[in-house]
């Protein structure tokens, strides 16, 4: 469990990053949405101790982040940052993945096994001995995801994971998120890709100006026009279509019925 | 620390009276303060240019940022003073050397805090620096905040993978810089390449003489400032050189 208790944070230049945030995140999929500068990245940086609250406390599995090192917290909370490919430095993809594992004290045999495992999950086994710096943008992103997944943190935080990814890789990431959720991991996703989020039907936390604007099911949050406006996202297409259908005579008795029917239709066609 | 460097030395648009002066006046002021700071060996004389720098910081509305530069430089000035004391065993002289260093840093900090890259480019152009030199210098200046942000992001990412820079012996700590330096160099090369492509796409270098949106012109406020500051500077130089 990641627990924020009345957390306030102000940057050095006086900008308010977080404003009295209280929330709990457990296992399952949680999406965090918000306009640029809403405080999403500031929030996730508090989860592994990169930032420490000026007011209030953050607990990760009962451990106060003020009393733990970043390394200790990162063992529990793995973060894939938005520009994660900038961290790549090793000679080979295999070395890159093993770097974090060695920092966390895994034995050599464990390191080898974990590297093989994550490379096969992402279909990157052929890239094991290649330089990560020579890969394409999308491939680099997958390597970075493999890097974080390797040490099996309890929580996986993904900051804009679908940027620069083609349809196949997006589906791969989606499958992985579902798989991890089924293993009772906590997945936290920051994304503006509403279609990607809609498919996952996560718990959605909407942020604005460093505060929690709303917290609820995807269907409720994404259909709320005030939240859509404040977080500057677009409504998922299925939801928008069913909303439009409400304005004309349509065979559905409710929006939910329309959404369910159309979703079923989309799933059949794919 | 990176945030402090950014705040203490990088230009941010502000309502500073010093900004109203022609940038050539500010260059002259910086050269005068630098020379004044570098000359004296005696502590009392070294304090004069430092006092002028701090006063300009107050007048120029950049005092808090200037103070950050002073505090940052203070760490190095203590080291420099300690080395001088070790060599010369004269505490007064050592303090004077430290104060000189602070004055030098302060004079440049004032300049960079109040002068935008565009203004500096105009001055360099007026002094007939080659266009490529001007562009390279200003690009380096402009990219400092970008690179500081990049370094910060790389450090965050590596720390999130368990890197603990502070732990271990000296050799271990040096090795731990590798995951920071390699991505940084890679990123810098990538950015340079992107910038080169962008500038070529915007026809950089296609004409020899490029016009400027704003031309430098001396205004009455510049003449008044020169009239007041020149005798004061002459007096300051007199006292510093005499004693």
Measured distance CA(A90)–CA(A83) in Å, rounded: 17
Average pLDDT over residues B170-192: 89
Q: Check whether A139 has a pLDDT greater than 70.
A: yes
What share of chain A has pLDDT > 70, as a percent? 99
- pTM beyond 0.95: no
Average pLDDT over residues A151-171: 91
* DSSP-assigned letter for residue B112: H
Residue of B7, B156, B162 with shortest CB distance to A104: B162
Q: What is the pLDDT of residue A188?
A: 97
Map out the domains of chain A with their CATH numbers. 2-234 (3.40.50.300), 236-270 (no CATH)
Q: Check whether A69 has a pLDDT greater than 90.
A: yes
Backbone angles phi, psi at A152, to 5 degrees: 50, 65
Q: What is the pLDDT of residues A51-63, one digit of tens each?
A: 999 999 999 999 9
Q: What is the pLDDT of residue B243?
A: 66
Backbone angles phi, psi at A49, to 5 degrees: 85, 5
Q: What is the pLDDT of residue B6?
A: 67
Closest residue of chain B to A79, computed from CA coordinates: B160
Q: What is the pLDDT of residues B18-34, one digit of tens each?
A: 888 888 998 888 888 88
A chain contacts of residue B179, beta-carbon cutoff 8 Å: 87, 89, 99
> CB B159 to CB A50 under 8 A?
yes
Nearest chain A Cα distance for residue B86, angstroms: 37
B chain contacts of residue A100, beta-carbon cutoff 8 Å: 161-162
Mean pLDDT of chain B: 85
Q: What is the pLDDT of residue A270?
A: 60
Please tell me if residue B145 touches chain A, with a CB cutoff of 8 Å: no
Q: Which residue has the higher pLDDT, A265 or A168?
A: A168
Contact in structure between B161 and A50 (CB atoms under 8 Å): no
> CB A86 to CB B164 under 8 A?
no
Q: Check whether A48 has a pLDDT greater than 80.
A: yes
Within 13 Å, how many C-alpha atoms sit on residue A102's CB side?
Answer: 10
> CB B161 to CB A86 under 8 A?
no
Q: What is the pLDDT of residue A174?
A: 92
| CA pseudo-torsion sign B12, A46, B164, A177 | negative
Nearest chain B Cα distance for residue A212, angstroms: 24
Q: What is the pLDDT of residue B8?
A: 67
Please tell me if residue B194 touches chain A, with a CB cutoff of 8 Å: no
Measured distance CA(A206)–CA(B111) in Å, rounded: 44
Q: Check whether A110 has a pLDDT greater than 90.
A: yes
Measured distance CA(A105)–CA(A96) in Å, rounded: 15
Residue of A74, A75, A86 with shortest CB distance to B153: A86
Domain segments of chain B as ranges: 2-115+216-242, 130-201
Residue of B3, B150, B163 with shortest CB distance to A86: B150
Measured distance CA(B112)–CA(A85) in Å, rounded: 33
Q: Check whether A268 has a pLDDT greater than 80.
A: no
Output b/e per residue, B114-149; b: 16+ Cβ within 10 A. bbbbebbbbbbbeeeeebeebbeebeebeebbeeee
Q: What is the pLDDT of residue A214?
A: 95
Q: Check whether B109 has a pLDDT greater than 90.
A: no
Residue of B159, B163, B183 with shortest CB distance to A86: B183
Q: What is the pLDDT of residues A86-100, one digit of tens each?
A: 889 899 999 999 999
Confidence of residue A269 (pLDDT cuts 50, 70, 90): low
Q: What is the pLDDT of residue B5?
A: 66
Most confident among A108-117, A230-239, B69-78 (mean pLDDT): A108-117
Q: What is the pLDDT of residue A68?
A: 94
Backbone angles phi, psi at A170, to 5 degrees: -65, -45
Interface test mutation site (partner A, options B161, B180, B182, max chain A beta carbons within 10 A): B161
Q: Check whether B176 has a pLDDT greater than 80.
A: yes
Closest residue of chain A to B4, computed from CA coordinates: A12
Average pLDDT over residues B149-154: 90
Q: Check whether A248 has a pLDDT greater than 80.
A: no
Average pLDDT over residues B201-230: 83
Nearest chain A Cα distance for residue B183, angstroms: 5
Least confident of A187-191, B64-68, B71-75, B239-243: B239-243
Q: What is the pLDDT of residue A46?
A: 97
Q: What is the pLDDT of residue A12?
A: 82
What token pair was written down for B7? 């705040």
Strand A155-159 vs strand A186-190: parallel, antiparallel, or unpaired?
Answer: parallel
Question: Hey, what's the torsion of the CAs at B97, B98, B99, B100, to 10 degrees?
Answer: 50
Residue with tokens 């230009």: B11
SS3 B66: helix
Residue of A13, A74, A87 with shortest CB distance to B162: A74
Closest residue of chain B to A104, computed from CA coordinates: B162
Least confident of A81-90, B13-22, B89-98: B13-22
Contacts (Cβ under 8 Å, ≥6 apart) of A36: A232
A chain contacts of residue B163, beta-carbon cutoff 8 Å: 71, 103
Q: What is the pLDDT of residue A154?
A: 95
């Amino acid at each position: 469990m990641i627990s924020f208790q009345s957390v306030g944070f102000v940057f050095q230049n006086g900008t308010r990053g977080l404003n009295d945030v209280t929330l709990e995140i457990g296992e399952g999929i949680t999406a965090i949405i918000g306009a640029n500068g809403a405080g999403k990245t500031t929030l996730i940086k508090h989860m592994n101790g990169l930032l420490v609250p000026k007011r209030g406390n953050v607990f990760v599995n009962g451990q106060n982040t003020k009393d733990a090192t970043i390394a200790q917290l990162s063992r529990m909370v793995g973060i894939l940052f938005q520009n994660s490919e900038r961290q790549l430095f090793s000679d080979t993809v295999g070395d890159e993945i093993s770097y974090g594992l060695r920092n966390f004290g895994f034995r050599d045999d464990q390191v080898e096994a974990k590297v093989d495992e994550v490379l096969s999950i992402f279909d990157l086994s052929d890239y094991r001995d290649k330089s990560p710096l020579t890969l394409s943008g999308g491939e680099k992103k997958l390597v970075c995801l493999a890097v974080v997944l390797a040490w099996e943190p309890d929580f996986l935080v993904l900051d804009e994971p679908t940027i620069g990814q083609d349809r196949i890789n997006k589906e791969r990431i989606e499958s992985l998120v579902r798989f991890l959720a089924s293993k009772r991991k906590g997945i936290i996703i920051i994304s503006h890709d509403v279609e990607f989020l809609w498919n996952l039907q996560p718990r959605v936390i909407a942020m604005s100006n460093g505060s929690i604007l709303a917290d609820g099911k995807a269907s409720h949050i994404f259909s709320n026009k005030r939240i859509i406006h404040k977080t500057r996202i677009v409504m998922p297409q299925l939801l928008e279509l069913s909303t439009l259908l409400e304005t004309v005579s349509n065979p559905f008795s409710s929006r939910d019925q329309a959404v369910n029917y159309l979703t079923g239709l989309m799933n059949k066609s794919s | 620390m990176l945030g402090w460097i950014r705040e203490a030395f990088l230009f941010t648009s502000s309502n500073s009276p010093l900004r109203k002066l022609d940038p050539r006046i500010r260059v002259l002021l910086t050269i005068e303060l630098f020379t004044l700071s570098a000359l004296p060996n005696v502590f009392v004389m070294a304090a004069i240019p430092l006092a002028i720098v701090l006063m300009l910081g107050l007048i120029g509305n950049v005092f808090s940022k200037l103070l950050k530069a002073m505090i940052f430089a203070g760490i190095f000035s203590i080291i420099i003073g300690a080395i001088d004391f070790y060599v010369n065993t004269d505490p007064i002289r050592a303090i004077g050397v430290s104060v000189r260093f602070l004055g030098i840093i302060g004079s440049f900090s004032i300049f960079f805090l109040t002068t935008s890259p565009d203004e500096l480019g105009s001055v360099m152009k007026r002094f007939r620096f080659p266009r490529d030199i001007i562009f390279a210098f200003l690009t380096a200046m402009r990219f400092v905040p970008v690179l500081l942000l990049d370094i910060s992001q790389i450090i965050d990412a590596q720390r999130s993978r368990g890197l603990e820079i502070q732990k271990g012996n000296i050799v271990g700590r040096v090795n731990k810089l590798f995951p920071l330096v390699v991505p940084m160099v890679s990123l810098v090369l990538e950015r340079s390449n992107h910038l080169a492509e962008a500038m070529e796409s915007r026809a950089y270098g296609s004409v020899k003489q490029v016009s400027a949106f704003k031309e430098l012109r001396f205004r009455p406020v510049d003449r008044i400032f020169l009239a007041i500051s020149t005798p004061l500077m002459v007096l300051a130089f007199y006292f510093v050189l005499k004693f």
